[in-house]
Amino acid sequence: MKNPLLPLSAFFMLLLGHGFATGISSCNLSITSPGTYALTGNISADSMHSCLYIKASDVTIDCRGHWILGNDQDCTPAGRQCAGIWSVAQRTKITNCYIRKFQIGIGLGDYTTRDDSSSNYTSIDNVSIWFNTVEAGLGEGIGIMNSKNVNITNSYINGTESNLGDAIYFDGGKGTTGNFIIENNTILSDEFAISFYHYPGSGLRTQNISIKNNYIRGVRNGAGTGAVTYTGISESNYNDNVTINGNVFDQGGIEDTYGLQINPGSTGSAVTNNTFIGPRMVSNGAWDTVFSLDCILQMALAYVLQLFGAA
């Protein structure tokens, strides 16, 4: 005789596999309890605040392919608290989202205190971020302050539309940061596609960064003139142990762009098996950066072509 409990147990296992989620049907929500939260449809912000503000640890936001739409306005102060999703908590997971028209698409960490109590063990996967509003050079697709153990994977990130802004911006603040994984993304920006910064005078450094298998393109959209440099990746003076492998750097034919910029004071960078499309591939100011042979040959060929072009 068949066990009648088997179909029932299979049903409950199916429910557990999908997970029980609290529905989200509108913006202006502060999440103060752990758990999984899922959008029930597209939602829109009706004020100059973050749509979803995560204060509790162990929160998963699953947009289930729905949109989070901003109102395309600047926010105050300095736009730092206006994001599609903002987390100041530990172990946040954000997945399957489309986010558009915010000052910052996704914000992690506390921009107000800049202290060492910000997001940790955060995962951003299969997220698309479009065209964020800019004020005073802000407008990141993903803005990360003083956070550790952040994974950004399988996502499409377009920093801004027709203004300066970074697609992914890491700010070390006044705390110790590191253990970042950025893999299998499409990353576009008007200025820096990926930018690392540390609070001046802190004496702290960002360590252990892996940037692999991304398509990275500098996009101008008519923004910026003069000495502005548009860079695929900009390493600050305070980075250690950076692996840059298997990426495509497409400068889009822009003459004043570098695919990769490594500043003096950054240590332990390894640049391997990348493809550079454009005349200015790398600006390297660090003495110990290791380049693979294929990267060296690409840079040498670009230099020769520039010489012949100049002639």
> Which token pair is 207?
């360590």
Residue 291: per-residue pLDDT: 85
> What is the per-residue pLDDT across 212-258, written as a single tens digit (0 to 9) for each?
999 988 654 333 333 334 467 776 667 888 899 999 988 765 555 67
Residues 67, 118, 132, 228, CA torsion sign: negative
pTM, to two decimals = 0.83
Phi/psi of residue 228, nearest 5 degrees: -65, 130
Give the residue with greater pLDDT, 4 vs 257.
257
Report residue 304: phi and psi, to 5°. Answer: -65, -45
Over residues 64-95, the pLDDT tens digits come to 999 999 877 666 554 446 789 999 888 999 99
Domains of the chain: 37-222+229-310 (2.160.20.10)
Using one digit for the tens of pLDDT, what is the confidence trace for 96-119? 999 988 888 898 887 655 555 556
Query: pLDDT higher for 111 or 193?
Result: 193
Which residues, in sequence order, are CB contacts of 194 under 8 Å at separation 6+? 166, 167, 168, 170, 182, 187, 211, 216, 232, 233, 234
